[in-house]
Amino acid sequence: MLRRWRALRFYDIVQYLHKEVLPRLNLRKRPGTVVCHPTCSTMKLEQEHMLLSIASQCSEEAVIPQEHACCGFAGDRGLLFPEVTQSATRKQAEEISGIRGNIKGYYSTSRTCEVGMSSATGKIYSSIIYLVERASRP
């Protein structure tokens, strides 16, 4: 039984999309720019480049703000203490508000981070999976 478990691969969603899903899809780049927020786990696993690659394969341009950091949502703490999220994301929110161009979406990989970033920036963040799905449409 233990041998069977050792053979399994456990992926973070970014790694899974990058290594397993995207190579099997016929993607069409969507017009415009998308902004990505790497989660803490994405940063700890050093997968920001994979997140950017996923978004770049699905849109004309993809950016990760220079000031990206933890959204401060801390699981569900941002629901009870929104000021933590506001403080943690202040620089990133300022940078995002300064991005000019045809911005078509804001994406991340964790629903709680998406809620926190949406609250902090006034932009609607969605899962990167939605961007991949849209780019895979004929």
Tokens standing for residue 11: 């992926």
Tokens standing for residue 30: 């969507």
pLDDT tens track for 11-67: 789 999 999 999 999 999 999 999 999 999 999 999 999 999 999 999 999 999 998
Question: Is residue 97 included in any domain, yes or no?
Answer: yes
Residues 6+ apart with CB under 8 A from 39: 71, 108, 109, 110, 113
- C-alpha 80 chain-centroid distance: 23
Question: Is residue 92 included in any domain, yes or no?
Answer: yes
pLDDT tens track for 96-123: 888 888 899 999 999 999 999 998 899 9
Q: Which pLDDT band holds residue 70 (cuts at 50, 70, 90)?
A: confident
pLDDT at 6: 56
Question: Is residue 96 included in any domain, yes or no?
Answer: yes
Domain count, the chain: 1
**Distance separating alpha carbons of residues 19 and 115, to the nearest angstrom:** 27
Give the residue numbers spanning the domain of 53.
Answer: 32-135
Question: Is residue 12 included in any domain, yes or no?
Answer: no
Question: Is residue 74 included in any domain, yes or no?
Answer: yes
